[in-house]
Structure 1
């Protein structure tokens, strides 16, 4: 698109009447409303990462898991040198997506208190309290009794 607007005509460069950043701003922000193709591509790749996480039974999810991270998680897998272009591109946005997501608690059995990102509205998603030395709690499920938070245990373990 940039070449269309700014390419040479008869050996002379066209005048750059407006910068690319302004062209990609929304019209409401006094821009021309062009899509920023790099950000658009990144968003589409992030959508594929989200599908790998939330829909592991899709055929594409199963194939990519078997090929690129059969024994690890999506978080820990390495990108091999011979990876396909789609996997290399998905891998470039994988950590951005993983940085922003939090675990849904449910019964809490699959969520580790001190290691996993599970607390909303926190940049790191983890408790602000350091793990007490005598604390034996490991899973979020241990903070739940009869499908309710064990408030006494929570106030005993964590700072207000």
Structure 2
């Protein structure tokens, strides 16, 4: 509501709330010995740092809000190299002079677990030029070697990218939130485009789109629930592989008639609904040659073809498809 109408002139209360929670988040990072920081650490992340903390189950409303602010605003800060002992090379934003401040995605797994101090010549605070060029792309390596490293014993520190002095404020956090919100608006446009595609493209292309979306969702879940990071390239490769396996399983197969030596085609059966008032379960199994496991799935529908429930599972064993479906 506008000030003239008696309001506080906040255009976005959610953004303002997130900016204030971000201030608490900033205080936790820079004052870990404060009473509030120690209380939350003891309760929610006793064995890890604040940067690695997860929301966890049964979290309070306050901690859930601070954790959400952490996840939303972490794109707005970067590390400044001091002793290099606190900065994770693959997952932290620390490369000065590069947009985004992260290393290229295809190099993340190869430097897993490395700290920035591991890139120094042993016993010094000078960059190991050969090691840096061996581990990173030439563009990232150039940016890394241009980062000044203090010779005195300074700890690594975090600065806020969206202020002149590098210190977070609710005002700059609110502006940053709105920049992210404008990106969400672009995603709304993408959603409209996707809905249009889903109603106009061929069945095969829809299968590709659905599998890629599944790959994105799976990658997100691996990061959120198992803290496993897959690069964009790895996620796409996984999706392409599943599309190929699906296409292979859907192709018509030629089966030789052992008795007459004739070749016949096995066609894909069409779904037949059950009688009214009854439900029908369809089961399918997927086997990959050479693997000692198989996956199976089932779907439950009513007489009108409406979806009721579905379930998928992965089981150990190397058995024929017919037995797998019976399992």
Same fold (TM over 0.5): yes
Task: State whether structure 2 residue 125 is matched by structure 1 residue 150.
Answer: no
Is residue 95 of structure 2 the alignment partner of residue 80 of structure 1? no
**C-alpha separation between the residues in 2 aligned to 1:56 and 1:100?**
20
- Higher strand content, 1 or 2: 2
Residue 98 of structure 1 pairs with residue 74 of structure 2: yes
Count how many residue pairs are aligned between Structure 1 and Structure 2.
132
Quickly say closer, same or farther: Cα 1:71–1:137, change in 2 above 3 A.
closer
Q: Secondary structure at the match of 1:103?
A: strand
Residue 47 of structure 1: CA displacement?
0.6
The CA deviation at 1:45 is 0.6
* Deviations 1:123-152 (CA, angstroms, capped at 9, x unpaired): 2x4322744999899332132233222334
Quote how far apart the aligned CAs of 1:59 are. Answer: 0.8
- Deviation per CA, 1:54-105: give whole Å up to 9, x if none: 210111111111122222333332243351x322322231201223332332
Counterpart of 1:46 in 2: which secondary structure?
helix
Q: Hey, what's the Cα distance between the residues in 1 that align with 2:41 and 2:117?
A: 28
The DSSP-based 3-state class of the residue aligned with 1:102 is strand
C-alpha change, 1:42 and 1:112, in structure 2 (3 Å) is: closer
User: Do the aligned partners of residues 153 and 48 (structure 1) sit closer, same or farther apart at CA in structure 2, a change above 3 Å counting?
Assistant: same
Q: Is the 8 A contact 2:78 2:93 kept in 1?
A: yes
- Structure 1 length as normaliser, TM-score? 0.63
RMSD (CA atoms): 3.4
Indicate the larger mover: 128-137 or 55-64.
128-137
Is residue 113 of structure 2 the alignment partner of residue 126 of structure 1? no
- What is the aligned partner in structure 2 of residue 46 from structure 1? 22
Structure 1 counterpart SS, 2:67? helix
CA, structure 1 residues 73+109, in 2 after alignment: closer, same or farther (shift >3 Å)?
closer
Residue 42 of structure 1, CA deviation = 1.5
TM-score between both structures, scaled by the size of structure 2: 0.34
Instruction: Give the deviation of 1:158 after TM superposition.
Output: 2.4
Structure 1 distance, partners of 2:85, 2:108, is 21
Give unpaired runs (5+ residues) of structure 1: 6-22, 25-33
Asked if 1 retains the 8 angstrom alpha-carbon contact of 2:91 and 2:108, the reply is no
Kept in 2: contact 1:49–1:90 (CA 8 A): yes
Counterparts of 1:134 and 1:88, CA distance in 2: 33
Question: CA, structure 1 residues 51+127, in 2 after alignment: closer, same or farther (shift >3 Å)?
Answer: same
Larger Rg belongs to = 2
